[in-house]
Amino acid sequence: METETALSNGSSNRTFSGKHIPSVDPSIILHPNDIAAVPQLLESITTHGAALATSNSDETRLVLLESARALVVALEKPRETMIRHCWGEHGLFAVLKFGIDVGVWTQLGADHSPKSVAELAIATGVDKDFLARALKHAAAMGYIIETGHDEYRATNFVRALTLPIMAGGYGCFAGPGSTGGLTRAVYSLPAWLADNGHKSPPVRVLRVVSSSLLV
């Protein structure tokens, strides 16, 4: 069992199963996750980026994508990673699901031309000020393109959200109404594991949870 005692500098004294665990310097949150990996990742991106431009190989694209994602994580500071996990990505999911529900992505993705917040608000019946904030977050996360003040253009991803096979995934995780869907099951897992000796859930439990959240 782990115990923790807070220290005045923000670090902590921790023990696990009676053994002392060295405290972590709080300043670590202000340093990149893995700056030493950056040169090699940039080399990989340069190499595979050039290869993709001439080959259009999906295998090359996936290697490039993996390197690009690793570069972002390496450059991020732990504090930035935490903010992305806890605020950026949760907020993004809510915005994407909201946009599916009210038809924002259908309107924005109808063609490749930019559209203003004002015209999207009129087309969907959504409050203009709220829609402006929602679209600003989606753009900040890279899922739509900001082309001007309160003006946006759809990416291929947002246009794909007009397809039921894509939009349905968000409905599955959000669930009907305010049930939380599969998202509630995912976020409840740490508590369930703590209550059940941190053992892998039996298949029957997973089936029951999944079926109860999707009705």
C-alpha to C-alpha distance for 200 and 190, rounded to whole angstroms: 11
- State whether 86 and 153 are in the same domain: yes
Residue 204 has pLDDT above 80, yes or no: no
What pLDDT does 4 receive? 47
Across 5-9, 49-53, 91-95, 176-180, least confident range? 5-9
Residues 139, 191 within the same domain? no
Same domain, 135 and 196: no
143 and 159 within one domain: yes
**Is residue 153, in this structure, part of any structural domain at all?**
yes
> 204 and 136 in one domain?
no
Average pLDDT estimate for 33-42: 98
86 assigned to some structural domain = yes
> Would 40 be classed as within a structural domain?
yes
Which residues have C-beta within 8 Å of that of residue 79, sequence separation ≥ 6? 29, 30
Identify whether residues 61 and 94 lie together within a single domain.
Answer: no
For 215, the 3-state DSSP assignment is coil
Residue 152 lies in a domain: yes
Domain check: are 94 and 151 in the same one?
yes
* Count of structural domains, the chain: 3
Task: Indicate whether 72 and 85 sit together in one domain.
Answer: no
- Tell me what pLDDT residue 205 has: 61
Least confident of 3-12, 53-62, 162-171, 200-209: 3-12
Please report whether residue 202 resides in a domain: yes
Which pLDDT value is given to residue 206?
A: 60
Range of the domain at 126: 81-164
Q: Which of 194, 200, 199 is nearest to 1 (CA)?
A: 194
Tell me the pTM.
0.82
